[in-house]
């Protein structure tokens, strides 16, 4: 309901052209007659003003607890029209209406959702941009990292050819772009990669009780607690040692030139 109210507030604060609410039905056929919804906390009806007979005399339009309204696919409310606005004020609380098409799919009892052409276009563009960005990360990545990227998604693809893993990652990017973005952009992704590699090399082990260990040091019971351990500044020295053991090539020192390798200069 919070998302629905936010959506309505955006419409109400927009231009007159924006203040048109159109309902779409997931079933496309049939009609639904709705009535005001009672608030369990206040005991009164949501969107219905408590009015005395004297107050009603001063108004042209108002709604009652016994009001009814029939909605169907395509029903619209013009919030610039006072009568339609009064009706919408209580209709919007009906449990059969969701804020978006996506919310409608996951809200029990919801059959209708608010269709906003500009908003839907914005959502579609955002989704396409995410997919494009996720795929771009994969295409720019070194194929040697593909197996561990897949493992960050919870899938062990060791032994598979790079092109097969690449295909899998791209499929994930097109279906679940947020998951792919997370394994490339997350603040803790470098630590997750370190932990995975250390496990593969048996530098970090899991004992019979399920504890992750680095030598005699207990890191945690789960990957999440291990990441928290790696992020703890109090473990800085041990983390540095873990990094050196796991990625020694990054810490190899460049040898100093010796007399045999130092180029000689001729005297003139």
Q: Are residues 6 and 109 in the same domain?
A: yes
* Residue 134 shares a structural domain with residue 202: no
Clarify whether residues 216 and 182 are in a common domain. Answer: no
- Tens of pLDDT, residue by residue over 152-176, are 898 989 899 999 999 999 999 999 9
How many distinct structural domains can be found in the chain?
3
The range of the structural domain enclosing residue 46 comes to 2-115
CATH of the domain at 245: 3.30.250.10
- Residue 97 backbone class (left: φ over 0; alpha: ψ -120 to 50; beta: rest): beta
Q: What is the mean pLDDT of residues 23-31?
A: 89
Task: Determine contact, residues 104/98, Cβ cutoff 8 Å.
Answer: yes
Share of the chain above pLDDT 90, in %: 63
Give the model confidence (pLDDT) of 40-93 as tens digits: 999 999 999 999 999 999 999 999 999 999 999 999 999 899 999 999 999 999
- Please give the Cα distance from 148 to 119 (Å, whole number): 37
Encoded tokens for 97? 């209406």
Residue 61 tokens, joined: 């339009």
Q: Report the distance separating Cα 118 and Cα 74, nearest Å.
A: 17
Q: Where are the beta strands (DSSP E) in the chain?
A: 20-25, 31-34, 69-72, 76-78, 97-98, 112-115, 204-206, 212-214, 217-220
CA distance 70 to 175: 37
Instruction: Evaluate whether residue 12 is within a structural domain.
Output: yes
pLDDT at 119 over 80: no
Does residue 219 share a domain with residue 146? no
203-244: pLDDT as tens digits: 999 999 999 999 999 999 998 999 999 999 999 999 999 999
Do residues 53 and 148 share a domain?
no
- 170 and 84 within one domain: no
Q: What are phi and psi of 159, to 5 degrees?
A: 95, -15
Q: Does residue 262 sit in helix, strand or coil?
A: coil
Which residues contact residue 88 at a Cβ distance below 8 angstroms, ignoring those fewer than 6 apart?
Answer: 21, 77, 79
**Does 59 share its domain with 154?**
no
Q: Same domain, yes or no, for 88 and 109? A: yes
- pLDDT in the model for residue 220: 93
Please tell me the predicted confidence (pLDDT) of residue 19.
80
198 belongs to a structural domain: yes
Query: What is the reported pLDDT for 14?
Result: 64
52 in a structural domain: yes
Inside any domain, residue 254 = no
Q: How far apart are CA 160 and CA 97, in angstroms?
A: 47
How far apart CA 217 and CA 220 sit, in angstroms, is 9
Could you read off the pLDDT of 80-112 as tens digits, one per residue?
999 999 999 999 999 999 988 888 988 999 999
Residue pLDDT, tens place only, 184-208: 998 888 898 899 889 989 999 999 9
């Amino acid at each position: 309901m919070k998302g629905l109210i936010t959506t309505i507030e955006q419409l109400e604060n927009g231009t007159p052209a924006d203040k048109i609410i159109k309902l779409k039905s997931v079933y496309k056929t049939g009609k639904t007659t709705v009535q005001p919804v009672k608030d369990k906390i206040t005991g009164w009806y949501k969107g219905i003003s408590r009015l005395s007979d004297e107050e009603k005399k001063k108004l042209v339009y108002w709604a009652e607890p016994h009001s009814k309204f029939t909605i169907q696919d395509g029903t619209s409310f013009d919030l610039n029209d006072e009568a339609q606005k009064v009706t919408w004020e209580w209709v919007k609380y009906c449990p059969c209406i969701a804020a978006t098409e996506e919310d409608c799919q996951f809200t029990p009892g919801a059959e209708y959702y608010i269709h906003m052409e500009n908003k839907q276009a914005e959502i579609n563009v955002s989704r396409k941009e995410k997919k494009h960005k996720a795929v771009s990360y994969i295409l720019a990545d070194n194929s040697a990292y593909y197996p561990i990227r897949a493992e960050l998604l919870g899938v062990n693809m060791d032994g598979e050819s790079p092109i097969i893993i690449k295909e899998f990652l791209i499929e994930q990017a097109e279906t679940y772009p947020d998951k792919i973005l997370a394994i490339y952009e997350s603040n803790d992704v470098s630590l997750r990669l370190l932990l995975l590699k250390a496990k593969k090399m048996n530098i970090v082990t899991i004992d019979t009780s399920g504890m992750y260990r680095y030598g005699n040091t207990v890191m945690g019971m789960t990957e999440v607690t291990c990441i928290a351990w790696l992020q703890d500044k109090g473990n800085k020295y041990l983390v540095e040692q873990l990094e050196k053991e796991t990625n020694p090539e990054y810490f190899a020192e460049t040898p100093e030139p010796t007399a045999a390798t130092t180029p000689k200069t001729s005297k003139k």
